[in-house]
Structure 1
Amino acid sequence: MGCGGSSLSCCFDSEENGPVIEPPNVENVEKGETDDLPAFREYTIDQLRVATSGFAVENIVSEHGEKAPNVVYKGKLENQLRIAVKRFNRSAWPDARQFLEEARSVGQLRNHRLANLLGCCCEGDERLLVAEFMPNETLAKHLFHWEKQPMKWAMRLRVALHLAQALEYCTSKGRALYHDLNAYRIVFDDDGNPRLSCFGLMKNSRDGKSYSTNLAFTPPEYLRTGRVTPESVMYSFGTLLLDLLSGKHIPPSHALDLIRDRNIQMLTDSCLEGQFSNDDGTELVRLASRCLQYEPRERPNPKSLVAALIPLQKETEVPSHELMGLLHGTTALPLSPLGEACLRMDLTAIHEILDKLGYKDDEGTATELSFQMWTNQMQETLNSKKKGDSAFRHKDFRTAIECYSQVSAICGSLSLSFFFFFCEIFIVSPENVFVM
């Protein structure tokens, strides 16, 4: 499976003391600068508070949760543009001018390989960054904590190429430093394409450390000097290549020992068996080992990585969302105000909406449903829901919508207490939330 020992011997013995050789006349495919995004701007704290529902806990999307020093929230602006908002610790950037200068510099970048920075907020003690929202989770989620299917080899190679292209673009624009590059910094857009988060182009603080991961994964020169260099970013790129190859977060020292011992099977994700050739596996291992060289000057640069990764790309005609097994091309049904309230589980708002609609909770015995009538309606509702769930799983959205609409109509005839009961049932299952 994966890489053969004889190929490795030839590969590593011949290039042990030099950087990756760049083929002549190899140009980066598609520079990819995009002009369809709004220009960088400054937001007020009130605008971002509204967009994130008051920085609500349920809108936190960063991997480390509410207690992390710098938390990332999802939100939506008044123009319906979805955003990710990184809120820094209050003591992170005491110099407002320095923060603004840094943010504006990163905000000049515009590329389809980045989750681009759209703006910032520097008001009082608040320091926030605003970026494009990427709805399909992080590489860490899809690589280490997958639920439906492991990431395919072709998609892993695509991730490596897109990341290298993102770094090449940033380097060409004078932003070669990326802080703490890891699998949580790579996010997937609506089409399932991997993008590099712009947040890592800024430090976590003016004087703070650039690496927050385990020290076993940090570049050796960072441990000596505490400084990040462009070569340090290449070292982190090498750890990501190991992640893609193994499906696990393996310390580079251990991985290099396996490579030196030609024990590549221990390094390769068993889920990839039969998906790639010996030559392709060998090449990815070779690139990872070059990036992880102890001496920074022996590591490749982003342009040479792009040149080396382009020939490895397989299934280039297959869209990323198909390789990832993601739903795509379905138009989400807009939620009514009642649906939005149910999604938030905001019982006060639900009550206000129903009250405005003139809803009256069972007044007098004349309007009460008999137990038999209620039982029949309950059975009919459950049958419709089951049929809708089955249709949804099979991507028969038309049937699913019809069935869920029947459920919604039945719920409308029940008393308020039973309505809340149904709210609880449906909200638990995210795929059914558009019923409301």
Structure 2
Amino acid sequence: MCYLYLIIFFFFFLLQQTSALDKITASKFLTDPETIVSSNGAFKLGFFSPPNSTHHYVGIWYSKLTTNNVVWVANRNNPLTDSSGGAIRISEDGNLRVLNAQNQTLWSSNINVSVSSQTNISIASEAQLLDSGNLVLTGLEGMILWQSFKHPTDTALPNMKLTVNKNSDMRKMLQAWNGPSDPSFGRFSVGIDSFAFPQLVIYNNDQPYWRSGPWNGHIFTAIQNNETDDFNDAGFILENDRQGTISITYSYTNQSVLSNYGLSYQGTLTQRWWDESERKWKVAWEAPHTKCDIYGKCGAFGSCNLMNSPICRCLKGFQPKNKLEWSKGYWEHGCMRKTLLQCERGSGKEDGFFRVKAVKLPDNPAWLIGLDENECRNQCLKNCSCIAYVYDSSIGCMSWDKDLIDTEKLATGGVDLHLKLAHSELGNSSGKVAIIAATGSLLGAATVVTLIFILWRRQTHKRQGKKLQRRKTVSDILGIDGNQDQVEEVPLFEFEEVVTATNNFQDTNKLGKGGFGPVYKGKLEDGQEIAIKKLSKASGQGVEEFMNEVLVISKLQHRNLVRLLGCCVGGDEKMLIYEYMPNKSLDSLLFDPVKKELLPWKKRYDITHGICQGLLYLHRDSRIKIIHRDLKASNILLDKNLNPRISDFGMARIFGEKQDQDDTRRIVGTYGYMSPEYAMEGRFSEKSDVFSFGVLLLEIVSGKRNSIFWYEEDSLSLLGYAYKLWEENNVISFIDPAIVDTYFSGQFEEIQKCIQVGLLCVEESAQDRPNISTVISMLRSELANIPHPKPPGFNHSQKTKDVGSSFGQSQQSSSTNHTSVALLSAR
């Protein structure tokens, strides 16, 4: 019998312990590093420290994942500054509190319990972590006193109901972290901005950054789901009582899949799910996703369309307020009406409506209750201040009497917008004109055919003349004696043809300027877009560099090298004609705080591999061995798919088959990218390019420009700073904040490897650096053991001023290249 009592007692004790694994009670509290786990094992509550931080927080995260994904933080604005003595417990007043070693409250559930219910509340209360990830605090008889789902931080979990009312701060449904290692309130938040037309809005501080379009009873009208993988039945449920309270619930049918909505510290709202087979998070939807998603991208009365170039255009009947700014891509001032409406002029034909199909509706509509579609139209037509209207069967009648802002053409979905225009802007053709045109078409047919034949004959003769001209070599035109076999067939463009293509070298077609001279965009008669690099008369470079680039690049054909289409020589003018790269140069994106968002880690990694393949071709695979000597971010051009193309071969040198290095008295290159042996002694080789590549690789990872970086504490360059953090096993601090989120998505080892390879490439001694084929093997993980890096060359910063470019940025943005120099010195 005693044994039976012991068994019963042991079983009861085990049951009590098991039931307490997911709870905090008045007698059981947590200290760092203790945790509790939900009964299904999905979520864990306890103390954690973000990457690269010594602060401690109480949070909830997924317990079974290889990466710590925190979904809720208690004391986000009041961290524990030391790991000893921190506790989370239920206090005597029944509140859940986070305490430090001095027993000071860092965070509290902050509930008010009535006097009548306070009896024994500290004994009766308990906090339990539910299987949903919700932390609930219950009082007597299981009454819920407080729950974390009512106080979310930056993440919405399935079935979490987010409620706002007119008395609450609507912009704080979700509040982003302040940084990858700082859970405190950041500048981005998600909220609802209207109770009449509820829509999700991401705010950047107090300014709209993105919006979902209004809720039509089923969906947010501007959200386009990707319908990817097994994650296409997730969505929002919105409840609007029309009395000033709105609730949004995110739900998902397949509850076995881990999923959430999260607002990143960079302002991106992401719907993601955990792919167990690949052991990583996958993104089902995110916003803002494109440049057109940014609020008010094209200004008032502008419309954004990713399929257009440029992406911003004025709505029909409107024109840019500032045509010069608009032509340069500054669209924020928007557009203005070309022709006043009849009701504004007081005379003329009646105004009408132009239908703008499938758009994201402009912001700030007014709701006209109880009108059908025809009444909605007539109401707007009669009201002179009405600019546009929309009738949607699910929403009803909407109209606008203010500037139309944040309009976007959508690939799928969207709503048709009826824009009020003056009669003359509608483009109507009268029946009389149509009859005359039909009658005259027969009489004019013979004339048209004759004109077409004459034009065809002229164009044929013109093209034949150009072909004869292009049979001449560059050397013939420049009058240079040399081996004609050195230069491959490089077409020669007529000067007039280039002038026409660039609209007489208009400033609006100017892409940038480098040491070689300005670079222009042009379009040939056949519609092909080209980039023209024009040798400036003020440039220190001349025929030698011009011929060198033609000589080198005419012999090269590779997908990761820019393609030379031809040359143009007219009088004193010398130009190189290249294929046009629509995304300009790598540095125009990588070092721009906004545009770098277009370069997530996967794309940066692909760009790195493309550059490696281009260098491998130059060093080993082409029929002539080429040392580039000026590899840098501004000389990496990006095509429409952001694939890299190495450009600018004016400084390149051809090596003999068995030649390993060469010397020069004329040291030309870019400060920050030149290897020590080249900058100091004039010796260059494959390893010089490898050094430049290493610098470029570290810039790609960090998002920082080596030539202007300076770590004040130790006067370190970017290379020295990277090596310092590598030695301290703290490379997370080196990673660009724009991609640091990949630390949580299983790509950290890949980034870490790139930093290690970059440091190997910039070692001081050339013989210690790997060649480019070895670099590729390292990046592909084909080598089991990668060496430990030695200290880099140019470890300390010179704090040198920016001094301009030595040899053009083939297709730069309007900014000039930082820190390129040309040095003339004896060794």
Range class of TM-score, shorter chain? 0.5 to 0.7
Quote the residue 1:137 is aligned against: 584
RMSD (Å), alpha carbons: 3.0
Residue 245 (str. 1) matches residue 707 (str. 2): no
Residue 222 (str. 1) matches residue 675 (str. 2): no
Aligned residue identity for 1:231: K
Quote the residue 1:264 is aligned against: 731
What's the CA shift for 1:150? 5.0
3-state SS, counterpart of residue 187 of structure 1: strand
For 1:153-302, list aligned pairs within 5 A.
Answer: 153-171=601-619, 172-173=621-622, 174-199=624-649, 202=652, 209-212=667-670, 215-250=671-706, 251-272=718-739, 273=741, 274-302=744-772
1:293-312 per-position Cα deviation (integer Å, ceiling 9, x unaligned): 11112212222222333359
For 1:418-429, list aligned pairs within 5 A.
Answer: none
- Distance in 2 of aligned mates of 1:230 and 1:198: 17
Quote the residue 1:42 is aligned against: 492
3-state SS, counterpart of residue 603 of structure 2: helix
What's the CA shift for 1:39? 5.8
The structure whose Rg is larger is: 2
What's the CA shift for 1:123? 3.9
Quote the residue 1:104 is aligned against: 551
Aligned residue identity for 1:288: G
Residue 225 to residue 89, structure 1, CA distance change in 2 (3 Å): farther
Aligned residue identity for 1:285: I
3-state SS, counterpart of residue 770 of structure 2: coil
Residue 200 to residue 298, structure 1, CA distance change in 2 (3 Å): farther
3-state SS, counterpart of residue 567 of structure 2: strand
Residue of 518, 523, 526 corresponding to 1:76: 523
What's the CA shift for 1:84? 1.0
Quote the residue 1:392 is aligned against: none
- Distance in 2 of aligned mates of 1:108 and 1:201: 15
- Return the structure number with greater relative CO, CA threshold 8 A, min gap 6: 1
3-state SS, counterpart of residue 83 of structure 1: strand
1:181-238 per-position Cα deviation (integer Å, ceiling 9, x unaligned): 11111222123322222546658xx9975314xx344321122124543211111101
Quote the residue 1:61 is aligned against: 511
1:59-98 per-position Cα deviation (integer Å, ceiling 9, x unaligned): 111265xxx55221111222222111111233545546x7
Residue 282 to residue 130, structure 1, CA distance change in 2 (3 Å): same
1:360-403 per-position Cα deviation (integer Å, ceiling 9, x unaligned): xxxxxxxxxxxxxxxxxxxxxxxxxxxxxxxxxxxxxxxxxxxx
Does structure 2 conserve the Cα–Cα contact (< 8 Å) formed by 1:156 and 1:244? yes
What's the CA shift for 1:157? 0.7
TM-score (norm 1): 0.55
- Distance in 1 of aligned mates of 2:548 and 2:696: 30
Unaligned residue ranges in structure 2 (runs of 5+): 1-49, 53-487, 654-663, 707-717, 783-827
1:12-48 per-position Cα deviation (integer Å, ceiling 9, x unaligned): xxxxxxxxxxxxxxxxxxxxxxxxxx96312233332
Does structure 2 conserve the Cα–Cα contact (< 8 Å) formed by 1:40 and 1:119? yes
Quote the residue 2:599 is aligned against: 151
Residue of 778, 781, 795 corresponding to 1:308: 778
For 1:306-385, list aligned pairs within 5 A.
Answer: 306-311=776-781
3-state SS, counterpart of residue 531 of structure 2: strand
- Distance in 1 of aligned mates of 2:506 and 2:757: 42
- Size of the alignment, in residue pairs? 270
What's the CA shift for 1:124? 3.5
Does structure 2 conserve the Cα–Cα contact (< 8 Å) formed by 1:238 and 1:292? yes
- Distance in 1 of aligned mates of 2:749 and 2:594: 30
Residue 208 to residue 48, structure 1, CA distance change in 2 (3 Å): farther
The structure carrying a bigger strand percent of its residues is 2
- Distance in 2 of aligned mates of 1:94 and 1:247: 34
- Distance in 2 of aligned mates of 1:217 and 1:240: 8
- Distance in 1 of aligned mates of 2:566 and 2:750: 40
What's the CA shift for 1:279? 2.8
Residue 135 to residue 146, structure 1, CA distance change in 2 (3 Å): farther
Aligned residue identity for 1:183: A
Residue of 88, 112, 126 corresponding to 2:535: 88
Residue of 485, 501, 516 corresponding to 1:51: 501
- Distance in 1 of aligned mates of 2:496 and 2:665: 28
3-state SS, counterpart of residue 503 of structure 2: coil
The structure carrying a bigger helix percent of its residues is 1
Residue 267 to residue 200, structure 1, CA distance change in 2 (3 Å): farther
Does structure 1 conserve the Cα–Cα contact (< 8 Å) formed by 2:510 and 2:519? yes
Residue 263 to residue 105, structure 1, CA distance change in 2 (3 Å): same
Identity within the alignment, %: 28
Unaligned residue ranges in structure 1 (runs of 5+): 4-37, 313-436
Residue 210 to residue 175, structure 1, CA distance change in 2 (3 Å): farther
Residue 191 to residue 201, structure 1, CA distance change in 2 (3 Å): farther
